[in-house]
A and B are shown apart, each in its own frame.
Chain A
Amino acid sequence: MSKKKQRTYQQDIVGDSINSLRKVVEPPKENGSHLMKYLLIGISAAFLFLMLALPLAVVVMNACKEGWDAYREAVMDEYTMKALQLTLLATVITVAVNTIFGLFASFLLSKFYFRGRQVLAALIDIPFSISPVIAGLVFILTFGNMGWMGDVLDKYNIKIVFAVPGVVLVTVFVTFPFVFRELFPVLNAQGKDEEEAAALMGAGGFTIFRRITLPHIKWALLYGIILCSARAMGEFGAVSVISGHLRGKTNTLPLHVEILYNEFNTTAAFAVSSILVLLAVLILVVKSLVEWKKE
């Protein structure tokens, strides 16, 4: 404690005895909790640095290791570009489907009471607790050669497994609850008074949704869409099972990274990874901006 501070405490004792007594007693305690504060912040910072920041640094360092030309070559490669296209396609479709679902499901579960409401909410959460590999397996068992839908699909010559529709389908499955999970708590906390008031005045469902409900969830919706795109872009396990790793056809960016890595083409693998890292960081920045704006 500095001398200056000590003097004020003593001056206070002359002034207001009870108040200053508290102050005299408190400082050592404060010092202790300051130490604790910096210790805990230090632990947190070290953990985050070791677990999260270093892996990112590894990607960037390795991607740049062989210089700009090697980087550009890896990124501009024909197969990388095709993988990027497929990744973007799958992401856009996934976000669209899951947004529609999230809007309807969160409206349903927050504004209406019906039997089995909780069961429905639990069913929606299933994809969260399932291994991505199992998610992929499930679609192979449904639409694959041996699957119970296999014959029907064969007859009409529709390919889902080891083809683009399968890749899109598992991506939708894995990220299915994301938008719903962001919207539901907000709508639930808002209650349904406003919607009831509007309904009593004779407003139709669409009007109520657009004018009353939607303004409440616009930030949560944006947030959900951002999270959902992040997960959709990076999905690996499930897509890995169902894609069949057909280069230039069913390879997404994460699968392309795996192939390059397994071919010991490390620089290229990290170069392609850096695209995904860039997208991930971009998403986190946008997300933070959204949160900041919301406040």
Chain B
Amino acid sequence: MYVEMKEICKTFDGFQASDHVSFGIEKGQMAALLGPSGSGKTTILRMLAGLDMPDSGDIMINGILVNDLPGNKRGIGFVFQNYALFRYMTVADNIAFGLEVQKKGKAEIKERVEELLELISMEDLGKRYPHQLSGGQKQRVAFARALAPRPGLLLLDEPFAAIDAKVRRELRNWLKEMIGRVGITSIFVTHDQEEAMEVANQVIIINQGKIEQIGTPKEICFHPQTEFVSDFIETDRWIV
């Protein structure tokens, strides 16, 4: 297992956000944390990133117990829901920031930034500021910025939530392809069943802070183990 959560519990002001959550994800997998809003999926992602601390339980990444390791030492890239692009830096500076902080050489940074701009097909937009970009472009920059320091694990919080429906499907395929090409283990949070089924090869369904089912999209679709899962997936089929 590349990523493992064991018996994680977390409460916020008496609200049980995570209730004995345990799961594992193999290296190179693309996993989706799927659940209705308020189910506690974002909390799990934030705990993996070290943005929130669990009350009890263990988190392992690449065989290392990271419970008390600050987020920046866990070797992860994080794509925020609203991208959290640095508003006062250009696209290129955004991507370079993580490398600058690691005190990489100027030439190396430049090379890596160019490589990533090419990857996200935004070679000509390096000098733009975030407010001059479309939603889809912002998302791609956030993706490139997270990848720049070559993390071992990529975490994405509702990566498509802020993008309008038309572009979403397109971007979804793009992201799937990119992650496949880079070959990085990734976990993303979503409340959209279709999104999870289409993009991920492992789906973790969460409800009220508990894991309902873990499996491949196929298993979840054809063998739902709880009533909640069958409801949650069924309703989706109806809408689509």
Contact = CB atoms under 8 A, between A and B. Distances in A.
Interface in A204-224: 204, 207, 211-212, 215-216
A193 B71 contact: no
B86 A211 contact: yes
A202 B82 contact: no
Contacts of A193: 80, 82, 84
A76 interface: no
Most chain B CB within a 10 A radius of its CB, from A193, A194, A201? A201
A201 to B, nearest CB: 4
Nearest to B142: A197
B87 to A, nearest CB: 7
A199 B74 CA distance: 12
Contact of A199 (B72, B76, B145): B72
Interface string B84-102: 1111110000000110011
Nearest to B78: A200
A203 interface: yes
Interface in A171-205: 193-194, 196-204
Nearest to B74: A200
A202 B89 contact: no
A203 B88 contact: no
A59 B223 CA distance: 86
Nearest to A192: B84
Given A193-B82, A207-B101, A200 B87 contact: no
Contacts of B85: 194
A207 B87 CA distance: 15
B102 A202 contact: yes
The SS class assigned to the B binding surface is loop
A194 B83 CA distance: 9
Contact of B84 (A197, A203, A215): A197
Interface size class of B (residues with CB under 8 A): 20 to 34
Given A211-B89, A216-B88, A197 B80 contact: yes
B75 to A, nearest CB: 10
Nearest to B73: A202
B101 A202 contact: yes
B72 A215 contact: no
A201 B98 CA distance: 5
A142 B234 CA distance: 73
A61 to B, nearest CB: 48
Nearest to B50: A200
B84 A194 contact: yes
A216 B84 CA distance: 13
A202 B84 CA distance: 16
B18 to A, nearest CB: 18
A215 B85 CA distance: 13
A216 B87 contact: yes
A200 B76 CA distance: 8
Interface of A: 193-194, 196-204, 207, 211-212, 215-216
Interface of B: 49-51, 71-73, 76, 78, 80, 82, 84-89, 97-98, 101-102, 145, 149
23 contacts: A193-B82, A193-B84, A194-B85, A194-B86, A196-B51, A196-B80, A197-B145, A198-B97, A199-B71, A200-B49, A200-B51, A200-B71, A200-B72, A200-B78, A201-B98, A202-B73, A202-B102, A203-B97, A203-B101, A211-B89, A211-B97, A215-B88, A216-B88
Nearest first, the 7 A-B pairs at minimum CB distance are A193-B84, A215-B88, A201-B98, A202-B72, A197-B84, A203-B101, A200-B71
